[in-house]
Structure 1
């Protein structure tokens, strides 16, 4: 049964606040955009929809594998490239540098 054409989103999920390193990154994720609005169930009061594709999250180790899966299954897709992460190195000697603008904290 072919439903309405939905766009798949391929992206790298962000790290949680508890992660600082690059280890255990989960790779790329392919998930579908919502196909219909959620509605309130009159009996239970829960919100939901008849769109079951919204529950699907496929994980891939590389971007190329996720794109190949989408193309093999004739899915319209958009790729979101990850933003580069800049890490400024902290140097202990900066605590004692001349002309330092920050207050001494201890």
Structure 2
């Protein structure tokens, strides 16, 4: 069963970068999920799908996967482009765009 090694993105409820510094190893789905006919629950017999392992670095996660014979795929994180702006930039004389005041 292949595994994914990735750095999790921040959730929509986060404004900071907590819990995004570690790398995670998760197993791919091996058995498709089934729908329980009476209640409509979605279930699966694949227990490895619930397993999530966190590592301090990408190298540690790769080393663990290779040591245990787990095929893996590494997904590199997409770092956001940050622009630093100051409040005073709103009132610059030579700013781009029309002055609206």
- Short-chain TM bin: 0.7 to 0.9
- Mapped contact 2:10–2:18 kept (Cα < 8 A): no
Residues 27-106 of structure 1: pairs in structure 2 closer than 5 A: 27-97=22-92, 98-101=94-97, 104=100
Shift of 1:99: 4.6
Q: 1:102 to 1:74 in 2, by over 3 A?
A: farther
TM-score of the pair, normalised by structure 1: 0.80
2:11 is the counterpart of 1:16:
yes
Looking at structure 2, the residues matched to 43 and 29 of structure 1 have their Cα atoms a distance apart, in angstroms, of 35
TM-score of the pair, normalised by structure 2: 0.83
**Residue segments in structure 2 that go unaligned for 5+ positions in a row:** none
Looking at structure 2, the residues matched to 102 and 35 of structure 1 have their Cα atoms a distance apart, in angstroms, of 57
User: Considering only aligned residues, what root-mean-square deviation do their CA atoms show, in Å?
Assistant: 2.1
Q: Which moved more, 1:10-19 or 1:92-101?
A: 92-101
**Residue segments in structure 1 that go unaligned for 5+ positions in a row:** 1-5
Q: Which moved more, 1:28-37 or 1:44-53?
A: 44-53
Q: How many residues align?
A: 100
- Mapped contact 1:29–1:59 kept (Cα < 8 A): yes
